[in-house]
Amino acid sequence: MAPCCNKKTKLLTLPLSCLYPSCETVAELRPVDIRTPGELGPLMEGVLWYVLSGTRGGPNRARILKALKRRPRNANQLAEDLDLDYKTVRHHLDVLLDNGVVDNTGGDYGSVYTLTDRTEQYWDTIEEIIAEIE
Amino acid sequence: MAVWMTAASVASALNVVVLLVLLSVWTRNYLAVGSKHALGLTVFGSLLLAENCLSVYYYVLDPEVAVLLRSAAPVAGRAMTFVAILELGGLLFLAWISLD
């Protein structure tokens, strides 16, 4: 981890890991992350709505989110726990990552996936969307 | 006019095909997820499918309307073709994001 939070450092020059534990550089910070929750509301709901019920992989993505809600896991564990193909899980995780629904920590393989704060914040919406899965 | 009517029929028929693909995704999601969002997409797709089936029927099969349209001025057929092609574009885009 980068040396953190020197009192004289201006906010903008702080390592991002101080603010967002999963981000090391500015490049990793998605533009939407700096909006306030109020602005994010409809946007995030739209993303979740589309990703979970409008697409071919939607139901499996919902199962992945449910599993990650219970505890963070890596792609391998998800494939095993949900009885899905490893490649399928990787694809879904990439889509969820692209849409800012999940985050991953660590390196390439074996890296652990968690729900983003935003996703946690909208968990009620997700539950509503996936009311009857499993 | 007949050429344009054929073009409009083909575009509407393609809409039917793309909608069937979309509906297979949305219906399966509704059965798996049971959410109102998936239901909304399914209902939307079904109604649009009905619209396009009806278009093909009127353009090709209806004994009165099809004959009348084929004998009408070409501008009408051209307009109908453009509308159907725009709809096809929209549906193809939707299919692209939905099959992800």
Give per-residue pLDDT as tens, A46-78: 778 888 888 999 989 999 999 999 999 999 999
| Helix (H) or strand (E) run with residue A107 in it | none
Order across the sheet with A102-105: list the strands: A73-74, A112-115, A102-105
Q: Which residue in A104, A133, A106, A100 sits closest to A119, CA to CA?
A: A100
pTM over 0.90: no
Total residues found in chain A within this entry: 134
Q: Give the side-chain half-sphere CA count within 13 A for B23.
A: 15
Phi-psi map region of A120: left, alpha, beta (phi>0 left; psi -120 to 50 alpha):
alpha
ipTM of the complex: 0.70
Q: In percent, how much of chain A has pLDDT > 90?
A: 31
In chain A, residues with a C-beta closer than 8 Å to the C-beta of B26 are 54
Amino acid A127: pLDDT: 86
Q: What share of chain A is helix, strand, coil (3-state, %, to 5)?
A: 55, 5, 35
A52 touches A46 (CB < 8 A): no
Q: Please state, in angstroms and rounded to a whole number, the distance separating the CA atoms of residues A65 and A96.
A: 9
Name the pLDDT band for B73 (thresholds 50, 70, 90): confident
Portion 46-65 of A in contact with B at CB < 8 A: 49-50, 52-59, 62
CA distance A128 to chain B (A): 7
> Closest partner residue to A131 among B34, B97, B100, by Cβ?
B34
CA distance B61 to chain A (A): 34
Q: Write the pLDDT tens digit of every residue in A98-125.
A: 888 899 887 666 689 999 988 898 888 8
Mean per-residue pLDDT of chain A: 75
CB contact under 8 A, B97 and A130: no
Name the pLDDT band for A29 (thresholds 50, 70, 90): low
Phi and psi angles of residue A25, each rounded to the nearest 5 degrees, phi first:
-130, 165
CB contact under 8 A, B99 and A130: no
> Closest partner residue to A54 among B32, B34, B98, by Cβ?
B98
Q: Please state, in angstroms and rounded to a whole number, the distance separating the CA atoms of residues B91 and A94.
A: 24
